[in-house]
Structure 1
Amino acid sequence: MDLIPAPASDVPDPDRPGAVLDARTVLAAAPGTEGTERWLRTVLGAAFALPLRPAPRDDAAQPAPGPAAGSAPRAAGPAPGPAPAAPASAPAVVRLRVEAGLGPEAYRLTVADGAVDLAGGDPAGVFWAAQTLRQLLGPDAYRRAPVRPGAPLALAARRIEDRPRFGWRGMLLDVARHFRPKDDVLRQLDLLAAHKLNVLHLHLTDDQGWRLEIRRHPRLTEVGAWRPRTRRGHRASPLWDDTPHGGHYTHDDIREIVAYAAERHVRIVPEIDVPGHSQAAIAAYPHLGNTDVVDTSALGVWDTWGVSPNVLAPTEAVLRFYEGVFEEVLDLFPAAVSPFVHIGGDECPKEQWRASATARARVGELGVGDEDGLQAWFVRHFDRWLADRGRRLIGWDEILEGGLAPGAAVSSWRGYAGGVAAAEAGHDVVMCPEQHVYLDHRQDGGPDEPVPIGYVRTLEDVYRFEPVPPGLSPEAAAHVLGAQANVWTEVLDSRARVDYQTFPRLAAFAEVAWSTTLPAPEARDYDGFARRMEGHLLRLDALGVEYRPPAGPAPWQRRPGVLGRPIEGKPPNV
């Protein structure tokens, strides 16, 4: 068995015939499973030329085949020998149904007597069952055209029951530092779904670029989406790429991305950064900056890395501007797919506010005490604004400073401490500590790692990540929504570089976030996981993912001479 994530229960039944899928196989989809029905026909039709014609109308109502009488549950693992063949005279049937008693996102997959039954506690559960079926069919199920036409697709009799540990199993993709075209985002959604991950956090704005069309403020993309050159490597590197870099998503691009995600039961979390990480917006609309301190009309989109000192001015005009931005964001990302909206709220230098007469007057007018209070005021304003419109604010753990409304949630990135404090205070938390799950960080301490950044975090390190820190009270632990792996792209300038840093570590993260049977980190069977990864890498090969090979980077994956910041034990600060 090389399933990833590992299911809660996998019971082979070698005494019963399994199922053989071929051109005669029919698909019976009960109400609520239409999305998975379309997806199965698309992927299996392409990979195996299976038409999966509709079954007779009453076939979807047939009960799932149960275990043989007197059969005993067995430990998860492969069947000891070939399964008896199903009767050749009858075509196999794949059944999809919603069975609410299974619970949210849970599923049961049963193969027996010529039938494959996929039951989910909700439509998402049915879809995750279909993802497991795809894994059972081997690496060729991930190809876009048949490579072995007519080869039998034999499935041994078995019963798999599974459910997720966390409801938030996410990945952040930073498209602000290096833009990823729409097709790359759609591909990333497929890769997340293949690993039963269900959140894509899109980092859409930063000092180095604004990536979302805002029709009432067109200069955000006309100006803010482009920079004239880009630093190559860490911010201390002397190397530059003088090719202008940029791009953005139109409204229709976003609607397509959102619809594509919804079909795959992935939620999108859009991030619009305030009040720091805003130089691209200020370059487009200089009045957004602290004009009594800096000649903001001379600012361009930032071309290097780090934390820009140019932050938003604490004025009513700036609030109204960003309310207009968020109005379009809410329209593009409906609540059903994006209940959370991320406002950043991190790394906001206060030097300009301290020097600004306007900002100092604002501190006194609002009674917020000091410049730190201004940052909290920004956050609280949009916390209320989003809550009034039925959405929930989420931000990086700096937003705890100054207090939060009860519904706000926290992304804990500076280690566990922010998440622990938020959870103990009754706020929901997503654990994404940079020391563990920042996938732009290097995977090995050797000299061949391309642009080595930050901490060394191997595949095994990620597999031993624990989202719920020890010592958290049971009440606080209930506020841990889940976990997220973050992929920042300062030094990831292509899809291949994103692939290399993300995989295969995202597979380890997916098992941590999904599997309910994982023991404590020190007791996890990494050797067993590594054996399963051998089969999983074949799936990634079929998908065309340019992952880091277990033996180290291939020659074309290295970046000799491009400086990183390989300082073990210190934050990357890129």
Structure 2
Amino acid sequence: MNLLPAPSSLDGPHRGEFAPDTNTTLYAGPGTETTERWLRSTLAPALGLPLAQGTAEDPTRASNAIRLVVDERDATLGPEAYRLRIRPGWGVEIRGGGGAGVFWGAQTLRQLLGPSAFRQAELAGGPSLRLAEQTVEDRPRFSWRGLMLDVARHFTHKTDVLRYLDLLAAHKLNVFHFHLTDDQGWRIEIKRYPKLTEVGAWRARTKWGHRFSDLWDEKPYGGYYTQDDIREIVAYAAERHIAVVPEIDIPGHSQAAIAAYPELGNTDVIDTTALSPWETWGINPNVLAPTDHTIRFYEGVLEEVLELFPVETSPFIHMGGDECPKDQWKQSPTAQARIAELGLADEDALQSWMIRHFDGWLTARGRRLIGWDEILEGGLAAGATVSSWRGYAGGITAAEAGHDVVMCPEQQVYLDHRQDGGPDEPMPIGYVRTLEDIYRFEPVPPGLTPEAAAHIIGTQANVWTEVMQDRSRVDYQVFPRLVAFAEVAWSALPAPAARDFEDFERRMVEHYQRLDALGVDYRPPGGPLPWQRRPGVKGFPREGAPPTV
């Protein structure tokens, strides 16, 4: 079969068939409402099937039906696990240990129905629907299977965010890490601080290509999400059993915020009133001042963030913590006085103090702080989770110390890195990470004790958008590699060297048709198409093989 990601077990296909038609009914048991709505709004129009509501008292005996069942008594089914059964004449049953499991089973059903099921309307003549008799049993390897999308460097319109949530759901990914603030733009409306979007969401021009490029796009650029936009995105994600993790970056990557409110910066070192949202890329020297005012300001920001991202769908709040140069703090009398006042060892400990403060603040409100692995420097906050991006080392250290870890090493799963070493790759960044490289990524490093390995709660791929100006460029960088990543995150695969990449490529042949039906501008297996290239625009390719575990 051509299922992606690969299921845990498959009995079949056998010779019998079930053919859904206009008389097929849909039975949705308690707890399956999100899947029922998704089937009616997505599959029904694509296939031209009304999927009328079933009315039989015992739906298990009804013929020509699709049944959705949450069965919490079945000890073999976890909350995201499902069992999909197809029988001739009788129909389809998706039984999950929770509502999420039923929803993931519906994604598998969609794949079994063929590429036409990924369209938004029925094709002329309608599809010839034939589902082979079979049983699929499936469960995820990791509870955190994510994608991080940077909307600060280049803004992603709300409708395209919703589209990416659909693409995540289609690949059984369940975490959307929403990188909302950075030096180049502040993308979330905060009503008590309106200048964050009035000033911080707009820059005068934008670097075209890598920061070493001498090209500029001279258009003013920006955008942001209103609070109602955010509520819509969060609700849309929840309907697809996707958690949204908002990221509000501190204390580095904060020039857009300082441009809006100059008192947030180190005013005793530089003239912060001269700053504007950054127009280029890289590590910015302008960081937040470690003052009580800054702390109270960001508490105010987070109070609105917590209201927009409720705990039921967003238990984690990402506080950044990466790439914070300490030069201004070393020069700042205010920062040095704060270090002395708190009895801290150095500037790393000062950053740790800020992260620890917000860890406690979030914990008191029932949330969990997560940050990039630099939050290990100077001492890790007690309840913090680590996004291990600078290779595996930070994640290993955190896991061995009893902290939860999401593995997302730059050298393996940064999808802004180039996919090939050829000269036609558009604005090539970083290492060559091919589809096969992603498929052989292993989130759990060898040598961890069972107790430490249990703290690797999942993995995510990261998409930084400095050189991705529009949806098409994001699609090109993300797909098809996200499909390989999804299988790594979901399926119980063997060790990397033993994985059957040829079988994955065979299954991808049909999956490219699904991506075509979804309108995804993926990188073709033979290389970029003429309109996907960016000749003459500098990137920053890095040579050598990235480290592996």
Range of TM-score over shorter length: over 0.9
8 Å CA contact 2:78, 2:97 repeated in 1: yes
Q: Aligned to 1:525, which of 497, 500, 523?
A: 500
Residue equivalent to 2:351:
375
**Aligned residue type for 2:180:** L
| Structure 2 Cα separation of the partners of residues 309 and 401 of structure 1 | 18
Unaligned segments of structure 1, at least 5 residues: 64-89
| Structure 1 Cα separation of the partners of residues 354 and 382 of structure 2 | 16
Residue equivalent to 1:564:
539
**Aligned residue type for 1:550:** P
Residue equivalent to 1:184:
160
Higher mean displacement: 395-404 or 205-214: 395-404
| Structure 2 Cα separation of the partners of residues 54 and 550 of structure 1 | 43
Residue equivalent to 1:86:
none
8 Å CA contact 2:116, 2:127 repeated in 1: no
Q: Give secondary structure in 1 for the equivalent of 2:465.
A: coil
Q: Does residue 515 of structure 2 align to residue 549 of structure 1?
A: no
Residue equivalent to 1:433:
409
Superposed, which structure 2 residues align to 1:360-399 within 5 Å?
Answer: 360-399=336-375
Residue equivalent to 1:466:
442
Q: Kindly state the Cα deviation for residue 570 of structure 1 after the two structures are TM-superposed.
A: 8.8
8 Å CA contact 2:70, 2:95 repeated in 1: yes
Superposed, which structure 2 residues align to 1:197-346 within 5 Å?
Answer: 197-346=173-322
Residue equivalent to 1:36:
35
Superposed, which structure 2 residues align to 1:432-451 within 5 Å?
Answer: 432-451=408-427
Report the CA distance shift for 1:299/1:154 in structure 2 as closer, same or farther (over 3 A). Answer: same
Cα deviations by residue, 1:50-100 (Å, 9 ceiling, x for unpaired): 10000114244x27xxxxxxxxxxxxxxxxxxxxxxxxxx96100000012
Cα deviations by residue, 1:180-234 (Å, 9 ceiling, x for unpaired): 0100100000000000000000000000000000000000000000000000111
Residue equivalent to 2:10:
10
Q: Give secondary structure in 1 for the equivalent of 2:161.
A: helix
| Structure 2 Cα separation of the partners of residues 407 and 20 of structure 1 | 51
**Aligned residue type for 2:239:** E
| Structure 1 Cα separation of the partners of residues 11 and 103 of structure 2 | 20
Cα deviations by residue, 1:380-427 (Å, 9 ceiling, x for unpaired): 010100001000000000001122233210000000000000000000
Q: Does residue 111 of structure 2 align to residue 135 of structure 1?
A: yes
Q: Kindly state the Cα deviation for residue 44 of structure 1 after the two structures are TM-superposed.
A: 1.5
Q: Give secondary structure in 2 for the equivalent of 1:493.
A: coil
Residue equivalent to 1:72:
none
| Structure 2 Cα separation of the partners of residues 278 and 390 of structure 1 | 26
Q: Aligned to 1:93, which of 65, 72, 75?
A: 65
Superposed, which structure 2 residues align to 1:95-174 within 5 Å?
Answer: 95-100=67-72, 101=74, 102-114=77-89, 115-174=91-150
Q: Give secondary structure in 2 for the equivalent of 1:257.
A: helix
| Structure 1 Cα separation of the partners of residues 140 and 125 of structure 2 | 35
Aligned-pair Cα RMSD in Å: 1.1
Q: Aligned to 2:452, which of 464, 476, 492?
A: 476
* TM-score normalised over the length of structure 2: 0.97
8 Å CA contact 1:21, 1:152 repeated in 2: no
* TM-score normalised over the length of structure 1: 0.93
| Structure 2 Cα separation of the partners of residues 381 and 108 of structure 1 | 44
8 Å CA contact 2:210, 2:467 repeated in 1: yes
| Structure 1 Cα separation of the partners of residues 211 and 391 of structure 2 | 23
Q: Aligned to 2:468, which of 488, 492, 508?
A: 492
Q: Give secondary structure in 1 for the equivalent of 2:121.
A: coil
8 Å CA contact 1:462, 1:508 repeated in 2: yes
Q: Kindly state the Cα deviation for residue 18 of structure 1 after the two structures are TM-superposed.
A: 2.5
| Structure 1 Cα separation of the partners of residues 85 and 57 of structure 2 | 19
Report the CA distance shift for 1:39/1:550 in structure 2 as closer, same or farther (over 3 A). Answer: same
Residue equivalent to 1:511:
487
Residue equivalent to 1:77:
none
8 Å CA contact 2:12, 2:133 repeated in 1: yes
Unaligned segments of structure 2, at least 5 residues: none
Residue equivalent to 1:87:
none
8 Å CA contact 1:110, 1:116 repeated in 2: yes
8 Å CA contact 2:152, 2:184 repeated in 1: yes
Q: Give secondary structure in 1 for the equivalent of 2:57.
A: helix
Report the CA distance shift for 1:324/1:312 in structure 2 as closer, same or farther (over 3 A). Answer: same
| Structure 2 Cα separation of the partners of residues 371 and 519 of structure 1 | 43
Residue equivalent to 1:193:
169
Cα deviations by residue, 1:507-564 (Å, 9 ceiling, x for unpaired): 0000000002x10000000000001001100000000000000000000000001100
Q: Give secondary structure in 2 for the equivalent of 1:153.
A: coil
Q: Does residue 403 of structure 2 align to residue 403 of structure 1?
A: no
Q: Give secondary structure in 2 for the equivalent of 1:221.
A: helix
8 Å CA contact 1:24, 1:91 repeated in 2: no
8 Å CA contact 1:22, 1:152 repeated in 2: no
| Structure 2 Cα separation of the partners of residues 219 and 528 of structure 1 | 53
Q: Kindly state the Cα deviation for residue 147 of structure 1 after the two structures are TM-superposed.
A: 1.0
| Structure 1 Cα separation of the partners of residues 196 and 283 of structure 2 | 20
| Structure 2 Cα separation of the partners of residues 219 and 206 of structure 1 | 15
Aligned pair count?
Answer: 542
8 Å CA contact 2:142, 2:490 repeated in 1: yes
Q: Give secondary structure in 1 for the equivalent of 2:154.
A: coil
| Structure 2 Cα separation of the partners of residues 106 and 337 of structure 1 | 19
| Structure 1 Cα separation of the partners of residues 153 and 449 of structure 2 | 38
8 Å CA contact 2:352, 2:381 repeated in 1: no
Residue equivalent to 1:73:
none
| Structure 2 Cα separation of the partners of residues 14 and 478 of structure 1 | 38
Identity %: 70
Q: Give secondary structure in 2 for the equivalent of 1:552.
A: coil
8 Å CA contact 1:416, 1:431 repeated in 2: yes
Q: Kindly state the Cα deviation for residue 370 of structure 1 after the two structures are TM-superposed.
A: 1.4
8 Å CA contact 1:269, 1:342 repeated in 2: yes
Report the CA distance shift for 1:563/1:150 in structure 2 as closer, same or farther (over 3 A). Answer: closer
Q: Kindly state the Cα deviation for residue 446 of structure 1 after the two structures are TM-superposed.
A: 0.3
Q: Give secondary structure in 2 for the equivalent of 1:562.
A: coil
